[in-house]
Structure 1
């Protein structure tokens, strides 16, 4: 095999004349270039460590402090107030002249002064970033305190930061007062409980606060003093890694391609550009060239970028009790699945990244390979789709040595996973609505064996050139993956581009070794079939519905001075009420990345105010103006709940951590047990868009993202994801389970559309009424004057 010959750097044989040494200079040159790339990366990491280690100062500022100290001493002044002399006393045994000792002492003092100034600057920046009152101020009514604060933050962060420059300056997530959390919790469940039930819950909460609650709170505050983030490690472990049920559908989520555009119909070409764009993003992450990811729109406030660290070269490995996230520093290959076979595709050659055209060439080689799968190979990926314990047992039994371990290592250590799907997907054909639903299901679970659900993310390239991604949830949340995917799509379409005949650009080295087939020895396929049966039953039960709403978007909503997110969330409450005849506990994901290692918090969107509005608009005799007033109250309440969640004053993460502490202490709390057993029948999330602004949607209106979605959280509930695209469009992803007779994704989608239209009609009528009232009032005002 060609790759086997290229892998041998030298050969030797023993002859009667001695040792005959044969060198392969080509192979040695490739080894040299590959090693050179590795050392360049190490030097780059060391350089970045120094730069971000002294941020918000710069390494060159040390020289300024040294020169300033020496100049001051030259002018016969002592800036150290005697410290330099004391340092010089400890240098008496050093064989230096008196002048040399003075200079060395000045250098030591300058360095200590410089480090002290850095710590002081970092402390000041941390204090500034701990100020969150700006989020609670009304639009256009900024206080003087906030104006001064913005100026100071800009001053302290004027230097161009690296990706992780702000990490040590971000504040720690605060532990809310237990009294405040319980009060907010009781307020959130009030519209869901009868008077008797609410009284019982109030008594449980009061009893918990006066007895066990304060004890658990003390332990939690102790952890908050010690840990970087008092929530994130427990959240990752107990919510994700300790779950023993399938991660497919239940945990993993998906992202879609452009809605209207497919840059090329060639599968290999789309794979070439997509893989290249992802690797370019990885290069930016490694070099820390990205801005601190996802700055809050319209502000200079950075967000925690810790989730980027495990984006590539990461996999989730199964265990008997808990899974483990494994991350490798680097990987020069990707794992590819096609037609039941697994391949290793090297994406670097002699230390350089292959061109998009070369990657396309290699992908085409895989597509043209007609060799059949080995026994047990085709459906091996089903192990990652089924229950975790059987997968851990199978792994321990068959994948700890030999060819199976080597092949599994290739998949797990790969930069990411690529599936070359033999289907066509997208909004196409005579039934585009149904085809979008099929597209969503394909990305969410596929055939249950043609994805590797344990990888940090898997890329799917379809036969007609469409693509998509499936992401594992434990290592990061959707905004981080959305940032990656937005860069990938934009780079693919607008920077890398394609030739007129749809191929990737660039030159091809046709001497590249063939992609390497992975070898397997699977003695028994029984467990693979059992995992596949579990996964298939789960996949068949998922009812997905994806639809774009084109009547209006955030442009029209914002003209009414209403938060688009609040507008949609209240619409979802109205849609659910009409669909199920009542209200339910509603989960909206909010980020806490204003804090170090922050992840998410829950916004309980079903509030007293939103329920009052829904009851009023569905009633027969409520005046429009009164409905409008109730909507305004509900909108303001939702925005306040979202701000509280973002600033560390949420409910659910605090209660979750109190519950974990109780388990460690071995004590039971009927209050916490009841709280954490309540089902989220409506789970919602907004997908961020235009985080990087790599292209203008106004000039390229066809390049609209479909966003992504996830499976339902409750068996009798809905999962709703939405993405607000541009000014005039909102895309929705709705999921539920066929096995529940009370839910129907298409029916709920229709209710969402009707709710959005009804609320907009109400607000528009009120807006017109207000305008006409002002115009008719004008003459009356003149008469009074």
Structure 2
């Protein structure tokens, strides 16, 4: 009953003298400190709201304008051209009469301040309007490296003058593309994958769509683009993610890995202490709006950052929902089938890494066994969504189950303490690295809460990683968090010589609280069925992680080719060698140049890349292949720029399809486009905070990136990250059930393709024998 006594803030009894009130000073102190922390956060947010509210000006600029206006008035000049005198009430006919009790001089000063404020607000509005127009310019993306036009130079200078980029700055809404451009671009990308008869049929469908339904649907999208902050993102989140009824595990969730070669400490609790504390530091910076915006000449929209913490996906029978709480002072922890609530704040302060280590060790040492089926409860989040929604409504809507479920769903994030050891280790480092990836992707199918915004996984040997839910944000957002957590863990927080976290432990810390459950037999059957579905899906995943150290961005840049284009064309070459044909290829591109932007598709399989692959495999000369390769790379870069600047076609066609469904209209063209299979799905994980990593002095502290499951049953999923100048890490997934796919074979094909392209495009070294002959000839001429 100790926990019950700690939960009571005060007690009172009725006595003959009246009410005897016995206050618990410790409990009231906790209430006071918690409220103090909340008010500090409110004050910080208020300050940030004032600063961002007057952006691109600053609060101090108001004082400057006021002083400037007053100074000009005392020099007997009137910058307002008589407007200030209209405000000063000299007669009953003046505009404002509220200052009658003030002296003439005082009234003049007040009027000047009012005029200055109005002038300041007008300047802010004008600057904002100009800045919006400047941020809508994307011509800089289409210019060649080293060749900057005068227009872009003027744009860059004007943008710098008008903006001192604030934290979490958002940008313009995405502009709606023309329907004719979409159909033309689609047909161009689909031509090489269709027979003549199929292409002719799709061309006919596209023309019919343009001339009839397309214009009507386009009108609705234009209307939405004028009204909404982004005409794509809300529908994309709802229909692509939240309305999906299949398992999140493997199909939607993705993972992020630890350092590849280094494990900072072998003590599981210590690694948890630093990792969780670093997560809290990031959240504090986020709440205070101190996270530096990612800049790509212009700031990228950071709206997705709002839901990193305290967010959960709630299952529904028709559609799920995302619930975000303003704050949460604890995390939910899973270990050996038990669930715990771990408070991360005490006495109004954040727990130190050493204190979190102490609390985690308390959980690891807890000998209590799980109740019946409690260990496999999270399998409900790994299976199909409808059974989970029904079970949640039937068995978790009241009583102890609701309280425990609320504790998990309202937690800052989820923590899984695994008994396994993972990483690139032992006699089979490559095989263990593959198993490490699979463990992060799906685990045992019941030891991750797949509905939480993210789950931090900590292994017995000190290795860590994360599993993230996809609907609330895209991978670069979570990658930004994880980069900060990893580097803060190792380079700022650090460990003692024994491998423990630094610092001391307060003696008054309350222990973690065990969550309790009352799971009836019928619910147990639902859990087992969800686990069977999830286990079948997990067992079918064939995964391979391939670190390539032979070359990286440095070698590619010497070829004067975009690294992303280089890798994407290598993937086309590898797939052709692997399957003997080309396929529709998906590459994710961000659209965060726009407000609330998420992603767009780059159709990487182009006629130019296919022509190059056929020429290379057909034995064409190096000169021909080099020319075709550069042409393919330029086309890929053009498509990528179009996707980033709102000129992609797939999200636009998706929105047209949604509008058609709302109107009850059928479009054969849109139906076929949206039902196509992406057998090769690719994504690059960008390294965003390069300044946090020191690959020169600490080359072993190399992040491995992350990956995702296969999108198509007979296809591949490929995630890659370019590390520094000399390394590329690939994460390749497919399914065992498809006899045509093999992740290890495809990985070998990709590596060979990269090497072959590097050999093709590398500058040729001079032949020593020819150099000697030329030297002899020149010597004879001199004689």
What TM-score, normalized by structure 2, do the two folds share? Answer: 0.96
- Superposed CA deviations along residues 617-655 of structure 1, whole A, max 9, x for unmatched, are 1113x1111111111111111111111111110010011
- Superposed CA deviations along residues 721-763 of structure 1, whole A, max 9, x for unmatched, are 0011111111100000111111111111111111111111222
Partner of 1:629: 627
Instruction: Judge conservation of contact 1:162–1:288 (CA < 8 Å) in 2.
Output: no
2:707 to 706, 709, 716: 709
Q: Distance in 1 between matches of 2:285 and 2:46?
A: 15
Alpha-carbon deviation of 1:776?
6.6
Matched, 1:243 2:247: no
Structure 1 gaps of 5+ residues are none
Give 1:174-193 correspondences, 5 Å limit. 174-193=175-194
Alpha-carbon deviation of 1:282?
0.3
Alpha-carbon deviation of 1:772?
8.0
- Superposed CA deviations along residues 432-490 of structure 1, whole A, max 9, x for unmatched, are 11111111110001011110001111100000000000010011111111110000000
1:324 to 321, 325, 328: 321
Instruction: Judge conservation of contact 1:448–1:539 (CA < 8 Å) in 2.
Output: yes
Instruction: Judge conservation of contact 1:601–1:650 (CA < 8 Å) in 2.
Output: yes
Alpha-carbon deviation of 1:86?
4.0
Instruction: Judge conservation of contact 1:605–1:638 (CA < 8 Å) in 2.
Output: yes
1:510 to 487, 507, 510: 507
Q: Distance in 2 between matches of 1:586 and 1:6?
A: 58
Q: Distance in 1 between matches of 2:599 and 2:66?
A: 44
Partner of 2:563: 564
Partner of 1:673: 671
Q: Distance in 2 between matches of 1:341 and 1:149?
A: 58
Q: Distance in 1 between matches of 2:767 and 2:332?
A: 61
Q: Distance in 2 between matches of 1:96 and 1:416?
A: 60
Aligned Cα root-mean-square deviation (Å): 2.0
- Superposed CA deviations along residues 495-545 of structure 1, whole A, max 9, x for unmatched, are 000000000011101321110111111113111111111111111111111
Partner of 1:499: 496
Partner of 2:7: 7
Q: Distance in 2 between matches of 1:246 and 1:218?
A: 36
Q: Relative to structure 2, which stretch is displaced further, 6-15 or 265-274?
A: 6-15
CA gap of 1:510–1:190, structure 2 versus 1, over 3 A, is same
Give 1:112-131 correspondences, 5 Å limit. 112-131=118-137
What TM-score, normalized by structure 1, do the two folds share? Answer: 0.96
CA gap of 1:95–1:369, structure 2 versus 1, over 3 A, is farther
Give 1:638-657 correspondences, 5 Å limit. 638-657=636-655
Partner of 1:205: 206
Instruction: Judge conservation of contact 1:385–1:535 (CA < 8 Å) in 2.
Output: yes
Q: Relative to structure 2, which stretch is displaced further, 6-15 or 726-735?
A: 6-15
Give 1:506-585 correspondences, 5 Å limit. 506-523=503-520, 524-585=523-584
Partner of 1:381: 378
User: How many corresponding residue pairs?
Assistant: 772
Matched, 1:414 2:411: yes
Q: Secondary structure at the match of 2:121?
A: helix
Partner of 2:289: 288
Partner of 1:53: 53
Instruction: Judge conservation of contact 2:558–2:762 (CA < 8 Å) in 1.
Output: no
CA gap of 1:77–1:480, structure 2 versus 1, over 3 A, is same
Give 1:288-307 correspondences, 5 Å limit. 288-292=289-293, 294-296=294-296, 299=297, 301-307=298-304
Q: Secondary structure at the match of 1:215?
A: helix
Partner of 1:745: 743
Partner of 2:662: 664
Q: Secondary structure at the match of 1:606?
A: coil
Partner of 1:609: 608
Q: Distance in 2 between matches of 1:390 and 1:220?
A: 35
Q: Distance in 2 between matches of 1:628 and 1:728?
A: 23
Matched, 1:24 2:24: yes
CA gap of 1:517–1:95, structure 2 versus 1, over 3 A, is farther
Instruction: Judge conservation of contact 1:628–1:766 (CA < 8 Å) in 2.
Output: no
Give 1:360-439 correspondences, 5 Å limit. 360-439=357-436
1:154 to 160, 177, 180: 160
Instruction: Judge conservation of contact 2:559–2:763 (CA < 8 Å) in 1.
Output: no
CA gap of 1:692–1:401, structure 2 versus 1, over 3 A, is farther
Q: Distance in 2 between matches of 1:672 and 1:131?
A: 30
Q: Distance in 1 between matches of 2:772 and 2:328?
A: 66
Q: Distance in 2 between matches of 1:774 and 1:192?
A: 51
Partner of 2:91: none
Instruction: Judge conservation of contact 1:337–1:418 (CA < 8 Å) in 2.
Output: yes
CA gap of 1:242–1:778, structure 2 versus 1, over 3 A, is farther
Q: Distance in 2 between matches of 1:776 and 1:418?
A: 69
CA gap of 1:233–1:771, structure 2 versus 1, over 3 A, is farther
Moved over 4 A (4+): 765-780
Instruction: Judge conservation of contact 1:486–1:692 (CA < 8 Å) in 2.
Output: no
Partner of 2:757: 759
Q: Distance in 1 between matches of 2:687 and 2:283?
A: 20
